[in-house]
Amino acid sequence: MNRYEGRRALVTGGGSGIGQATALRLLAEGGTVVAADVSERGLRDTAQKAAAHADRLTTLVVDIADEASVRAGVAAATRALGGLDVLVNAAGILRSSHTHETGLDEFERILRVNLVGTFLVIRESIPALLDGRDAAVVNFSSTSATFAHPYMAAYAASKGGIQSMTHALAAEYAGRGIRFTAVQPGSISSGMTDGSGASGRSAGPGLPEDADMRLFAKLSPALGQGFAGPETVASVVAMLASQDGRFITGTEVRIDGGTHF
Report pLDDT for 222.
80
Nearest by Cα to 62 from 89, 87, 39, 33: 39
Third-level CATH fold of 8-254: Rossmann fold (3.40.50)
Catalytic residue IDs: 155
Q: Tens digit of pLDDT for each residue in 131-153?
A: 999 999 999 999 999 998 999 99
Report pLDDT for 191.
60
The residues, any chain, with a CB within 8 Å of residue 203's CB and separated by 6 or more, are 93, 94, 95, 192, 195, 197
The residues, any chain, with a CB within 8 Å of residue 111's CB and separated by 6 or more, are 154, 157, 158, 161
pTM for this one? 0.92
Report pLDDT for 105.
97
Report pLDDT for 220.
78
Per the CB < 8 A criterion, the answer to whether 8 and 86 are in contact is: yes
Per the CB < 8 A criterion, the answer to whether 106 and 95 are in contact is: yes
Report pLDDT for 127.
98
Q: From first to last of its 261 residues, what are the pLDDT tens digits of the chain?
A: 799 999 999 999 999 999 999 999 999 999 999 999 999 999 999 999 999 999 999 999 999 999 999 999 999 999 999 999 999 999 999 999 999 999 999 999 999 999 999 999 999 999 999 999 999 999 999 999 999 899 999 999 999 999 999 999 999 999 999 999 999 999 898 765 555 443 434 334 578 999 988 877 767 788 777 889 999 999 999 999 999 999 999 999 999 999 988
